[in-house]
Amino acid sequence: SGCSEVNNEDEFYEKADEYWKSIPATLNGMLGGYGRISQIDIHSSYNFLKRFLEGPKARLKTKRALDCGAGIGRVAKNLLLPIFKTVDLAELNSKFLEQARTYLGEGSKRVGNYFCCGLQDLQLEEKTYDVIWVQWVTGHLTDAHFVKFLNMCKAALRKGGLVIIKDNVAILDVELDAVDSSVTRNPEELRHIYSAANMKIVFEQKQTHFPPELYNVYMTALE
């Protein structure tokens, strides 16, 4: 539909970088003041992942995962490290990554790589990950970079692996947030991007029990 087209790409990325530089490297900072939702969030994510780890739909190995837009490592610590042997973090903000080393505690011993870059500049080795977890960060990518990122993720998955996107979804039109410089896409737009990257939806589920004033959040497993 083109309504999420970003007029000035450099400015779009720079403003996001500036915004996050002003945010404290804390759990509450990562969640925009909604630190209290972290447990509900992780619990739902775990149940979503579990269907691919055990039972009739099991397909995932548990060797290595990547946490994209990792912040201080909230998802890595509470969701991925308890399941996967090694976890890598990708995060643009160096202050957050520095904090992650402390925040992850003992778990930091099983962190493979700390990639300090935006997802549009990330480079991954092929056939490396069982899960690439991408939460609350795709809104910082332009449409073209989102497709490019997914193509790279697809190549970086091991056999049976999944890209899992957990993000805000707009109900009607795409919304541009001028404060943190991000877009919130609608389902139609997201499907357009997934198909442009030749990825198909394996399973999708709406997040429940979040405060009503927040956006709808969906978890989407792609292959």
Annotation: binding site = 69, 74, 119-120, 135
SS3 for 67-79, per residue?
A: EECCCCCHHHHHH
> Which residue ranges make up the annotated binding site for S-adenosyl-L-methionine?
69, 74, 119-120, 135
Q: Return the C-alpha torsion angle 18, 23, 27, 28, nearest 10.
A: -130
Q: Tell me which residue of 95, 92, 85, 82 sits closest to 46, measured CA to CA.
A: 82
DSSP 215: P
165 in Cβ contact with 205 (< 8 Å): no
CA torsion through residues 15, 171, 40, 60, sign: negative
